[in-house]
Amino acid sequence: MGLVAHTPAMRLIWITRFAFPSPSGLNSMRLSRYFMPILRETPKEAEIVSHRLMLRAGMIRQESAGIYAWLPLGLRVLNKINDVIREEQNRAGAIELLMPTMQSADLWRESGRYDAYGKEMLRIKDRHERDMLFGPTNEEMITEIFRGYVRSYKDLPLNLYHIQWKFRDEVRPRFGVMRSREFLMKDAYSFDLDAEGARHSYNKMFTAYLRTFARLGLKAIPMRADTGPIGGNLSHEFIILASTGESEVFCHNDFLSMDTPPANIDFDDRAVMQGVFDTWTGKYAATSEMHDAAAFGALAESDKVSARGIEVGHIFYFGTKYSDAMKAVVNGPDGKEVAVQMGSYGIGPSRLVAALIEANHDDNGVIWPEAIAPFRVGIANLKVGDAATDAACNDLYAKLGKAGVDVLYDDRDDRPGAKFATMDLIGLPHQIIVGPKSLAEGRVEVKNRRTGAREMLSPDEALNKLGA
RNA sequence: CGGGGUAUAGCGCAGUCUGGUAGCGCGGAAGUUUUGGGUACUUCAGGUCGUAGGUUCGAAUCCUGCUACCCCGACCA
């Protein structure tokens, strides 16, 4: 592709893009022009509520077992989750890059995991009969990148992450994107000179994870975990409590009321980070694999929480497991080569979409937390074609959009009941209901999806209330 | 990977036992009606019945192989 002259039109595109307040460039939409294939009936294969609602709301479409297309509404949520994750990763000092999905088998032969990983790894041959694979994780590749450039301890600490599709050929994918074969993962990898530094890196990610899940409106509890095929000796899973969770968890009641570390916490202060870690690991919390019935039994009855949970994040400190095998070494201050200390830190954004629905729904549909709603506001025009309601809705739509509020305007020529049902199903936090009767009295109805609270306001008051 | 099941219109299903050339509800299109919680009616469009082969005058239906998908269990972000 050759060079392209910068026309005035192109400049406008850039200005517009940077002018948008949302990092993903999301914006408003008219439902009549959108692609949101909602289903009135529940598809039979969907067993759990999040899967049912994602299919009904037109967020995903299954293409193969455990492989999903993300339709526009679902993609918006996924992108908003990614935005929150990015902000918190960046805040904690991690740096984003992007590695490919396809990897060479040779890399995995170096670490010894090509044979060890088993049938979950999708193995492919290219046209030259070279062994390739679709990455189930990226420890090998990031280590290869690291060793290609970093030679000195002065370049440490370093934490690199990406948000990329993974493939794990699960024996039995199920529950929609909760356990799919292809899934999106944010995976970060830390490199440090020594164990103390690595411990600090671990604590920083630990803190970033607490903040990330809290911002998504989730109460995530860190629990000591098995390290599995990643290896290592220190590992925590972040579990949110949900009745449809796949694993059984046990924890102290205090976790439900602990304060999330603030945004301005000093990530560079080792003592502060260790303090966060100590606070959040000081009480009993374990999944069933790591459960110590005696220790749990020693708690007061009122402190015991026994529930089901969904794993939404998993962090590992594994020392020199990969740096030894793959010779990722730096020169230390003493001039001697040492293998770097590593950790890896994963969050599954695609699973989080489902987990968020599990934690936020009612009989009528999804109830999105503000931070990740596909649109923050929905406008329902109850009588399309009526001059007054059309004008009022157009005005609300334009002004909210201008103020940077993501709006979905239901301008379809449809029954009011259908619009109410649609709005509730897709779960936008705020609904502005514009009907001819109340509009004749200068009022629109503003409904809060979560509380169900309804207010009759003037259009200006409604705009003001919703941040425009 | 063990066990069980399903495959017929975009979705949910009937028809298969007993072979005769495919039907219902929802959804879609056109229209009338209705207008604050999925309105009612009329008309229309849409299916080589998962796939390959076999039996038969004739196969969605009977037989054989294959594939895909789902569910239960053991494993995982």
Which has the minimum average pLDDT: A19-23, A152-156, A246-250, A305-309?
A19-23
pLDDT for position A231: 58
Is A40 near strand B, with its CB below 7 A from some atom of it? Answer: yes
- Residue A55's nearest CA partner among A450, A426, A424 is A426
As a rounded value in angstroms, the CA-to-C1' distance for A315 and B73 is: 29
Give the whole-number percent of chain A exceeding pLDDT 70.
Answer: 93
Flag whether pLDDT at A454 surpasses 90: yes
Confidence of residue A7 (pLDDT cuts 50, 70, 90): very low
pLDDT for position A436: 92
> Closest residue by Cα to the C1' atom of nucleotide B77?
A348
Q: Which amino acid is at A139?
A: E
As a rounded value in angstroms, the CA-to-C1' distance for A283 and B57 is: 80
pLDDT tens digit sequence for A422-436: 999 999 999 999 999
Owner of token pair 């220190």: A234
Q: Which residues contact A75 (CB under 8 A, 6 or more apart)?
A: none
Is A118 near strand B, with its CB below 7 A from some atom of it? Answer: no
Query: How far are the Cα atoms of A31, A98, A159, A200 from residue A141, in angstroms, in the given order?
Result: 43, 11, 14, 23
pLDDT for position A5: 37
Flag whether pLDDT at A17 surpasses 60: no
pLDDT for position A229: 58
Flag whether pLDDT at A9 surpasses 60: no
Is A122 near strand B, with its CB below 7 A from some atom of it? Answer: no
Q: Residue A230 is encoded by which pair of tokens?
A: 């990643």
Flag whether pLDDT at A24 surpasses 80: no
Flag whether pLDDT at A358 surpasses 50: yes
Is A363 near strand B, with its CB below 7 A from some atom of it? Answer: no
Query: CA A371 to CA A360: how far, in whole Å?
Result: 13
- Farthest-apart Cα atoms in chain A, separation: 81
Q: Residue A74 is encoded by which pair of tokens?
A: 């679902």
Query: In this structure, what are the phi and psi dihedrals at residue A243, rounded to the nearest 5 degrees?
Result: -65, -25
A346 CA: nearest nucleotide by C1': B77
Task: Share the mean pLDDT of chain A.
Answer: 89
Rounding to the nearest 10 degrees, give the CA dihedral for residues A379, A384, A387, A393. Answer: 10
Q: Residue A294 is encoded by which pair of tokens?
A: 């005696």
Flag whether pLDDT at A343 surpasses 80: yes
pLDDT tens digit sequence for A235-251: 999 999 887 777 888 99
Confidence of residue A227 (pLDDT cuts 50, 70, 90): low
Is A313 near strand B, with its CB below 7 A from some atom of it? Answer: yes
Which has the minimum average pLDDT: A14-23, A70-79, A423-432?
A14-23
Q: Residue A73 is encoded by which pair of tokens?
A: 């509404």
A452 CA: nearest nucleotide by C1': B37
Query: CA A221 to CA A284: how far, in whole Å?
Result: 10
**CB A231 within 8 Å of CB A116:** no
- Residue A428's nearest CA partner among A445, A447, A444 is A447
H-helix or E-strand spanning residue A275: helix A270-281
Is A4 near strand B, with its CB below 7 A from some atom of it? Answer: no
A311 CA: nearest nucleotide by C1': B77
Flag whether pLDDT at A6 surpasses 60: no
Between these two residues, A277 and A19, which has the higher pLDDT value? A277
Owner of token pair 């305007």: A409
pLDDT tens digit sequence for A209-226: 999 999 999 989 999 877
Is A140 near strand B, with its CB below 7 A from some atom of it? Answer: no
Flag whether pLDDT at A369 surpasses 90: yes
Rounding to the nearest 10 degrees, give the CA dihedral for residues A90, A154, A151, A106. Answer: -30
As a rounded value in angstroms, the CA-to-C1' distance for A343 and B55 is: 65
> Closest residue by Cα to the C1' atom of nucleotide B36?
A416
Flag whether pLDDT at A232 surpasses 70: no
Strand B nucleotides with an atom less than 7 Å from a protein beta carbon: 1-2, 11-13, 25-27, 34-39, 68-77
A417 CA: nearest nucleotide by C1': B37
Task: For strand B, list residues 326-345 of chain A whose Cβ lies within 7 Å of it.
Answer: none
Flag whether pLDDT at A1 surpasses 60: no
Q: Which long-range contacts (CB under 8 A, 24 or more apart) does A179-183 make?
A: A179/A66, A179/A246, A179/A351, A180/A66, A180/A67, A180/A68, A180/A350, A181/A65, A181/A66, A181/A67, A182/A66, A182/A67, A182/A68, A183/A348, A183/A350, A183/A351
As a rounded value in angstroms, the CA-to-C1' distance for A407 and B24 is: 39
pLDDT tens digit sequence for A33-49: 899 999 888 777 787 88
Which whole number is the average pLDDT over A301-312? 90
**CB A159 within 8 Å of CB A187:** no
Query: CA A249 to CA A243: how far, in whole Å?
Result: 11
Task: For strand B, list residues 260-299 of chain A whose Cβ lies within 7 Å of it.
Answer: none
**CB A233 within 8 Å of CB A317:** yes
Q: What predicted TM-score, i.e. pTM, was given to this entire model?
A: 0.91
**CB A295 within 8 Å of CB A319:** no
Which whole number is the average pLDDT over A407-436? 94
Flag whether pLDDT at A233 surpasses 80: no
- Residue A104's nearest CA partner among A86, A123, A88 is A123
H-helix or E-strand spanning residue A308: strand A304-319
ipTM passes above 0.90: no
H-helix or E-strand spanning residue A358: helix A349-359
Cα–chain center distance at A112: 31
